[in-house]
């Protein structure tokens, strides 16, 4: 009798603000990422993977839902992620998976689970509408939560930070649950383990900082031509009035590199836990990020734009049935939802609501053969701070097109011009390519209607937040349940039974 095929476990290890350009896995000559390297050596490294919104919460909403932010109104870091939107956690749970989240996902709103059966930690950022931008006063900084240059000027080392404490906790609880799944024969399971590093502030523990020497740190390229959105961002982060010294820039990049290696160490801990719990051979591992970091390139820091350092993400996938190689086909985070469904057995018998509105495509053909022609397009949107109108990006083949109604169009060949120095939008030889992209924009978006929708939700969210600040606070921040009376050894249990139950692998008497 044929045994039913085991469904693979699916484990996502997610960084925050990690650009592939600053990973040894992606050929940076200095940054050490041995654990990501090892996964790439036995899996597929995607060299043209993008986020669908270069900002934390919107990117994660699109990643979870497999939909673009304009469809789900997930515009910025204070937009509600609606409970009625199916996520891949819902879909996998429907397919029999135990679904678990440890770490950051920046859910905004009263639903702090979105399909996860359990959540091991709280989130690191607020879950309310406090960080709502104002597109009708787009030139005004909101000092309380806008990025500024302090992270660059104050970069360095520390024994601990709130980010280090958070990521250590995220990894600890995830590792514990991986072991418990093995002890209790829980399969299949899907875990998202999401870290805050290497997101600014650029502060690292000394052991990671000391992996690098200041005089070895490469400086960013700042000779690129400017554009209106770049200037808006420079004002928004105060880079127009605060100029860090060369040493401060080196310090910021050294701390970032250190924290990339710190994040990589967490990959190693989690892979080791899967291996020691005898679950690695049946686990698909995905390493990625929500967006990148400019890290001084073009005179910009952080994200919020569609240049490669901000919009591209690492994506490494390894596990049973995954080929070995490098894929240069443009893909994006919305492709992961249908990929997970495909890996879990397909969507043939799933309710239509799980798959009808997806904007991505399964990457399984590329996992089986990285050279497969995918012929797809990558779409990304930006509808958040330091802007007043929707910004839209499309990547097809070698070309990337960036459009905003109030800015000149930008067209780059990112293969022959990876630094995006030559805007081809006014080049007559590329008129047909430009026209093709403009037609795609017209087919995908009504920019003015989208702008009106964004502003409408901003009005609503600011009103709700103002009301919520009056009277007793009702917080949406997630409170992880924990009952210490049931942990370790207690008087209502036999300690020898507890010791036996929590030992993995189980003790086996010698046959001699």
Inter-residue contact 52 to 331 (CB < 8 Å): no
Tell me the HSE value of 21 on the side-chain side, using a 13 A CA sphere. Answer: 22
- Smallest CA-to-CA distance from 106 within 86, 80, 83, 133 is with 80
Element (H, E) at 189: strand 189-198
Query: How many beta carbons lie within 10 A of that of residue 149, not counting itself?
Result: 18
Report how far apart the first and last C-alpha atoms of the chain are (Å, whole number). Answer: 35
Active site residue 100: no
* Rounded CA separation 177/199 (Å): 25
Element (H, E) at 450: helix 447-468
**Tokens 């920019």 — which residue?**
447
Whether cis (ω within 30° of 0) applies to the bond prior to 31 is no
Cα angle at 166 between 110 and 203, to 5 degrees? 125
Tell me the HSE value of 493 on the side-chain side, using a 13 A CA sphere. Answer: 14
* Rounded CA separation 389/244 (Å): 30
Three-class secondary structure assignment of 108-128: CCCCCCCCCCEECCCCCCCCC
Find all residues with CB under 8 Å of 379, minimum gap 6, and list them. Answer: 52, 68, 332, 359, 392, 393, 394, 444
**Tokens 């409408």 — which residue?**
456
Whether cis (ω within 30° of 0) applies to the bond prior to 188 is yes
Find all residues with CB under 8 Å of 172, minimum gap 6, and list them. Answer: none
* Rounded CA separation 265/273 (Å): 12
Find all residues with CB under 8 Å of 486, minimum gap 6, and list them. Answer: none
Which of 23, 35, 51, 56 is the catalytic position?
56
Inter-residue contact 64 to 88 (CB < 8 Å): yes
Cα angle at 84 between 81 and 85, to 5 degrees? 65
Inter-residue contact 64 to 340 (CB < 8 Å): no
Inter-residue contact 195 to 259 (CB < 8 Å): no
Active site residue 171: no
Which of 94, 106, 114, 129 is the catalytic position?
106
Task: Indicate which residues carry an active-site annotation.
Answer: 56, 106
């Amino acid at each position: 009798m044929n045994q039913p095929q085991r469904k693979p476990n699916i484990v996502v290890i997610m960084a925050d603000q990690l650009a592939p350009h600053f990973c040894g896995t992606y050929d940076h000559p200095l940054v050490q990422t041995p654990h990501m390297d090892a996964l790439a050596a036995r899996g597929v490294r995607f060299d043209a993977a993008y986020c669908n919104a270069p900002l934390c919460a919107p990117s994660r909403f699109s990643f979870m839902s497999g939909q673009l932010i304009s469809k789900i109104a997930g515009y910025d870091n204070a937009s509600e992620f609606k409970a009625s939107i199916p996520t891949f956690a819902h879909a996998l749970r429907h397919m029999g998976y135990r679904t678990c989240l440890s770490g950051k996902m920046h859910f905004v709103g009263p639903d702090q689970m979105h399909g996860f059966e359990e959540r091991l930690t709280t989130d690191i950022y607020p879950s309310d509408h406090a960080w709502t931008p104002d597109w009708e006063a787009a030139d005004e900084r909101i000092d309380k939560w806008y990025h500024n240059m302090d992270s660059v000027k104050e970069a360095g080392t520390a024994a601990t930070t709130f980010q280090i404490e958070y990521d250590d906790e995220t990894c600890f609880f995830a590792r514990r649950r991986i072991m418990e799944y093995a002890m209790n024969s829980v399969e299949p399971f899907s875990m998202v383990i999401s870290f805050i590093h290497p997101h600014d502030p650029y502060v690292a523990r000394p052991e990671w900082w000391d992996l690098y020497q200041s005089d070895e740190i490469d400086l960013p390229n700042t000779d690129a031509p400017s554009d209106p959105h770049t200037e808006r961002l420079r004002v928004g982060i105060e880079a127009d009035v605060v100029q860090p010294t060369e040493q401060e820039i080196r310090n910021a990049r050294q701390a970032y590199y250190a924290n990339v290696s710190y994040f990589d160490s967490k990959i190693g801990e989690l892979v080791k836990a899967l291996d020691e719990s005898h679950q690695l051979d049946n686990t698909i591992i995905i390493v990625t990020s929500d967006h990148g970091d400019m890290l001084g390139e073009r005179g910009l820091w952080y994200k919020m734009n569609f240049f490669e350092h901000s919009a591209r993400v690492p994506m490494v996938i390894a596990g049973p049935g995954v080929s070995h190689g490098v894929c240069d086909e443009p893909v994006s985070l919305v492709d992961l939802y249908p990929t997970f469904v495909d890996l879990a057995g397909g969507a043939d018998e799933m309710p239509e609501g799980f798959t009808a509105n997806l904007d991505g495509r399964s990457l399984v053909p590329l996992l089986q053969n990285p050279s497969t022609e995918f012929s797809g397009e990558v779409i990304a949107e930006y509808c958040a701070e330091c802007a007043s109108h929707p910004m839209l990006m499309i990547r097809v083949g070698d070309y990337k097109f960036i459009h905003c109604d109030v800015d000149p169009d930008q067209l780059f060949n990112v293969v022959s011009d990876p630094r995006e120095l030559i805007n081809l939008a006014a080049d007559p030889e590329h008129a047909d390519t430009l026209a093709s992209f403009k037609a795609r924009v017209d087919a995908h978006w009504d920019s003015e209607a989208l702008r009106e929708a964004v502003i409408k939700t901003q009005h609503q969210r600011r009103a709700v937040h103002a009301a919520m600040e009056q009277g007793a606070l009702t917080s949406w921040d997630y409170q992880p349940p924990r009952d210490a009376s049931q942990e370790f050894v207690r008087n209502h249990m036999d300690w020898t039974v507890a010791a036996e139950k929590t030992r993995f692998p189980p003790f086996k008497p010698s046959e001699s």
